[in-house]
């Protein structure tokens, strides 16, 4: 258990009742804004998928899913989703959605291996979204344009929230800053990945870090990513000054994270993980890099490698995370009802942090 207690913390909304009203306002406004920015249709999504199909999100490939047998299906195993990264791509294929349009859904997941702190909970809720693109759209420029649209949806929500709750003043900058994970490493060579995030986000307030999951020049990765959804290995046309296209110096990756400066926690605060998804070539390459070539025989992977699924871009925006940020909360438990250690509950209560 880890916990950060802001000094002189105060609930700007005054009460749990006002907080609940504000949570609803944020959720209603943001999903409307996101849908408009990316031309997304809301769909119903599963909370469980069958084990062994490759449909569930492996996250960093070490987290254990909640798994159980189904009595009426000959004890076949099912598991609670970690996210819907791959399910959405299957759904788009089934629906025959055309390029330029997509879907979003309310995703509810359980991640029992999370280390509980101010921003991590066993219960995860997010707007999972996915949009069909053309093969020629698999570029860094397309990724950046999409990030800007999502950031605009966040900013519009922040400004509308201010109208209803004037005690919460807008603070996001006009533009989001882009930087590759390798460039970030070169800028702060003496810091670890989380320290580098803190430094860059404190300076720019809203940052998109590109290339999450691929190996950097020092042999590390900025943060873990599964091999079979985001494309973190394709050269993206950018690099250090004087780089040659196709050389080892060219940056790789068509994915990344949106991070905002959180003044309550005084930290970099991730609200979204997203990216252009793997095509057939990137899937094969990344499975090999992670020694997971055996996955090529799973249902999802076989269909993708056979060219049966659309090219897509997608990701998730944390619902409780975004509410926490916009409502200036110190703990995600002020937004969502989950399970917390009793010691954490007592400590939070003493600091004026009321967990629901």
State the catalytic residues. Answer: 57, 111, 126, 257, 270, 273
Backbone phi, then psi, for 72, in 5-degree steps?
Answer: -85, 10
- 3-state SS class at 141: helix
Place of tokens 């849908």: 35
Instruction: Round to the nearest angstrom and report the end-to-end CA distance of the chain.
Output: 18
Residue 66: CB atoms within 10 A of its CB come to 15
- Spatial separation of the C-alpha atoms in residues 16 and 11, rounded to whole Å: 9
Place of tokens 């970099």: 268
Query: Quick one: which of 233, 240, 277, 262 has its CA closest to 129?
Result: 277
CA angle 187, 228, 332 (to 5 degrees): 65
DSSP summary character for residue 259: E
CA distances from 90 to 23, 67, 94, 128, 332 (A): 31, 22, 6, 14, 31
DSSP summary character for residue 235: B
Place of tokens 């280390």: 115
Q: Is 352 left (phi over 0), alpha (psi -120 to 50) or beta?
A: left
* Two structure tokens written together for 169: 């003043």
- Spatial separation of the C-alpha atoms in residues 300 and 187, rounded to whole Å: 39
* Two structure tokens written together for 302: 């076989």
* Two structure tokens written together for 355: 């967990």
* Two structure tokens written together for 337: 């009802």
- Spatial separation of the C-alpha atoms in residues 314 and 88, rounded to whole Å: 9
Place of tokens 């793997």: 278
Are 214 and 250 within 8 A, CB to CB? no
């Amino acid at each position: 258990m880890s916990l950060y207690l802001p000094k002189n913390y105060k609930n700007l909304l005054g009460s749990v009742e006002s907080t609940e009203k504000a949570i609803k306002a944020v959720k209603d406004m943001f999903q409307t804004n996101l849908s408009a920015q990316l031309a997304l249709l809301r769909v119903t999504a599963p909370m469980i998928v069958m084990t062994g199909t490759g449909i569930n999100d492996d996250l960093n490939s070490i987290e254990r899913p909640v798994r159980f047998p189904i009595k009426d299906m000959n004890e076949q195993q099912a598991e609670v989703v970690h996210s819907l990264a791959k399910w959405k791509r299957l759904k788009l294929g089934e629906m025959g959605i055309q390029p330029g349009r997509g879907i979003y859904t309310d995703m509810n997941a359980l991640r029992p291996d999370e280390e509980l702190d101010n921003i991590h909970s066993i219960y995860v809720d997010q707007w999972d979204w996915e949009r069909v693109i053309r093969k020629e759209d698999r570029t860094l420029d397309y990724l950046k344009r999409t990030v800007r649209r999502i950031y605009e949806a966040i900013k519009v929500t922040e400004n509308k929230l201010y109208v209803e709750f004037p005690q919460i003043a807008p603070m996001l900058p006009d533009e989001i800053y882009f930087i590759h994970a390798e460039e970030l490493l070169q800028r702060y060579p003496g810091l670890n990945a989380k320290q580098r995030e803190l430094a860059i986000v404190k300076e720019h307030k809203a940052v998109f870090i590109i290339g999450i999951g691929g190996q950097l020049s020092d042999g590390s990765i900025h943060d873990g990513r599964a091999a079979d959804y985001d494309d973190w290995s394709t050269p993206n046309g950018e690099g250090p000054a004087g780089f040659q296209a196709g050389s080892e110096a060219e940056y790789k990756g068509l994915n990344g994270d949106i991070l905002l400066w959180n003044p309550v926690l005084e930290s970099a605060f991730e609200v979204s993980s997203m990216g252009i998804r793997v095509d057939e070539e990137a899937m094969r390459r990344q499975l090999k890099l992670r020694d997971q070539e055996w996955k090529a025989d799973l249902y999802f992977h076989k269909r993708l490698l056979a060219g049966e699924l659309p090219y897509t871009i997608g990701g998730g925006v944390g619902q409780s995370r975004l509410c926490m940020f916009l409502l200036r909360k110190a703990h995600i438990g002020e937004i969502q009802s989950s399970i917390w250690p009793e010691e954490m509950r007592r400590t939070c209560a003493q600091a004026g942090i009321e967990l629901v």
